[in-house]
Amino acid sequence: MMKKTVLSITLFLISILMVVQATPVPSPPKLAAKSFLLIDFNSGRILAEKNINKKVEPASITKLMTAYVIYKEIESARLSLDEKVTISKKAWKMKGSKMFVEVGKKVSVEDLLKGLIIQSGNDATVALAEHIAGSESTFADYMNQYARELGMRDTNFVNATGWPNKNHVTTASDLAKLATAIIKEFPEHYTRYKVKEFTYNGIKQYNRNKLLWRDKSVDGFKTGHTESAGYCLVASAKRDDMRLISIVLGTKSEKTRENVSQSLISYGFRFYESNKLYSAGESLNTARVWMGASASLNLGLSEDLIVTIPRGQYKKLDAVIDINQSIEAPVTKGQKLGVVSIKLDDKEIISQPLIALQSIDEGSLWQRGKDHIIKLFQ
């Protein structure tokens, strides 16, 4: 059984929000791409989509996962940015986009990362993969392990670069999980994706993500192109406290992938807004605890609760808090004891578990006996 409490969100926020006239939300634009996806980074809400679970070749978008593995290696202290990598003949001979490293030379991980991200260098990518795992194929196994951990269920990597292979596939939905993870887990590394140019070996090359010049709110992510994959672009943009991630796969030209991505981002910011309703650790309600050293327990959330809604609809939100009717000690901090559901026009748009904000030990024999008798009469 659950006990239900209905709260008005306006009691919690929010004198800081201005009253905005509701903006009608049109259908998402119809765009020329095999698949695309637009999500709000903070809430995870999908704002526009097409064929988001369709398996496609990702081309150099693959390098997002390559970089993710590298960040994990750095985080675990198994790799450092100033560490030197010896360039193999295989890395040097890689076709496609290049950083123009030379065989036998020693290049820092920092420079190779820049070559991978800014110049999309296949040579830099293979050099890093070989340095970390011994071979590119073994490195691909690492990539697939992390993909499974991130819930990328329709993804399979066979190389680190995105070189064409019919078994090398992913989806827009899976790429959204990866892009979100990079920003959340490695914000300090994410800043590299907005760098517009990098010069190595006397050769200056520019970031292939042209949205960095076109839209000041765009601050990163990755392009990709092969004959079989078409032109692809993952982009992220932030305006005020709202961040959007767009994934566009399989367009027919470089210009089209830019236009489609820009259309999605503009649509999201124009017609939607994001609001933080509750903070992690904030006490939202107090529950009665039976048989415990304390009779009351503060309940809240483990993560910030953020909603993405059509602009001007904030005052229509309601929060429904359901709490377990009978909570008995011992209670462990973080234990799930209910749920918070946010509704718009009586339709649930997001929910999060309601957890114990502190632990409560079992009470004394006298306290347990007293509570047992009270419960019997109730």
Q: Catalytic site residues? A: 60, 63, 120
Nearest to 205 by CA among 123, 98, 107, 113: 98
Helix (H, G, I), strand (E, B) or coil at 202: coil
Do 225 and 163 form a contact (C-beta atoms < 8 A)?
no
* Distance in angstroms (rounded) separating the CA atoms of residues 127 and 34: 31
Residue length, the chain?
378
Nearest to 67 by CA among 2, 35, 9, 113: 113
* Distance in angstroms (rounded) separating the CA atoms of residues 88 and 126: 9
Rounded to the nearest 5 degrees, what angle is found at the Cα of 250, between the Cα atoms of 247 and 256?
A: 80
* Distance in angstroms (rounded) separating the CA atoms of residues 113 and 192: 9
How buried is 217 (Cβ within 10 angstroms: 0-12 exposed, 13-18 middle, 19+ buried)? Answer: middle
Helix (H, G, I), strand (E, B) or coil at 209: coil
Structure tokens at 216: 């000041």
* Distance in angstroms (rounded) separating the CA atoms of residues 28 and 239: 20
Q: Count how many Cα atoms sit within 13 Å of the Cα of residue 173 in the half-sphere of its side chain.
A: 12
Residue 161 CB neighbours (<10 A):
28
Nearest to 288 by CA among 328, 319, 250: 328
How far separated are the first and last CA of the chain, in Å rounded?
15
